[in-house]
Amino acid sequence: MRWKRDFAATSPRIILGATGPRAKIFVSPHLWSHHDRMGRLEAIWLKRAYRGPMDEVPEAAAVAGRGLDGNVDRSRRRQVTLIEREVWERLMRELDADVSPSARRANLMVSGVALANTRGRTLRVGGVRLAIGGETTPCERMDEAFPGLRAAMRPGWGGGVFAQVLDDGVITVGDAVTWEDPA
């Protein structure tokens, strides 16, 4: 008997492979905990000058204890910032806006993993581990991008997270994103 596995489905589903006492159920990854499933690196941005534009790049070198090579405005605690694609899209729907996610001024946009309430956890992006340090508080620049965006981002860690880089390595758009530790 062949089991149908629909990993690319866009809606949650449970797929039954047989009926009766020997029935087995395959649960689509869309029903797994949003905190523990595999995600994807959707975009990388580098800020090359203070208050400068965010330059989208296909890959970046991560430097342990420092951040992304070529990025300015980083500290010992806040070496890399991340946002969730799903949260950004929700914010745009709520505000009836169409603003590029680069306006958030984060370094990485991920999808398929939830970032809220993850302080102290370790996120793997490709071959690089990131220690989540906490929530990134939205600044006044968000209202420059779109009026009301700053307030809309405040609840539920909508501004994303900041992290410290634990490993040297190159990250590339399309890399897998996973949690190293359980939720």
All structural domains of the chain with their residue ranges: 1-31, 39-179
Question: Looking up tokens 């370094």, which residue turns up?
Answer: 107
- The DSSP annotation for 43-69 comes to EEEEE-STT-PEEEESEEEEETTTEET
Q: What is the mean pLDDT of residues 110-117?
A: 96
Where is average pLDDT lowest: 67-71, 117-121, 149-153?
149-153
Neighbours of 8 (CB within 10 A): 7
Higher per-residue confidence, 29 vs 105: 105
Residue 165 — pLDDT band, cuts 50, 70, 90?
very high
- The structure tokens 């689509």 sit at 28
Mean pLDDT over 54-78 rounds to 88
- pTM for this structure? 0.76
137 HSE (CA, 13 A, CB side): 2
* Contacts (Cβ under 8 Å, ≥6 apart) of 84: 109, 110, 111, 113, 114, 115, 160
CATH class of 39-179: mainly beta
The top-scoring range by mean pLDDT among 51-55, 58-62, 92-96 is 58-62
**What would the pLDDT profile of 4-33 be if each residue is shown by its tens digit?**
233 233 333 333 344 444 443 333 333 334
**102/104 Cα distance (integer angstroms):** 5
**What value, to the nearest 5°, has the Cα angle with vertex 86 and ends 80 and 92?**
100
Q: How far is CA 4 from CA 13, 16, 78, in A?
A: 12, 8, 44
How high is the pLDDT of residue 36? 53
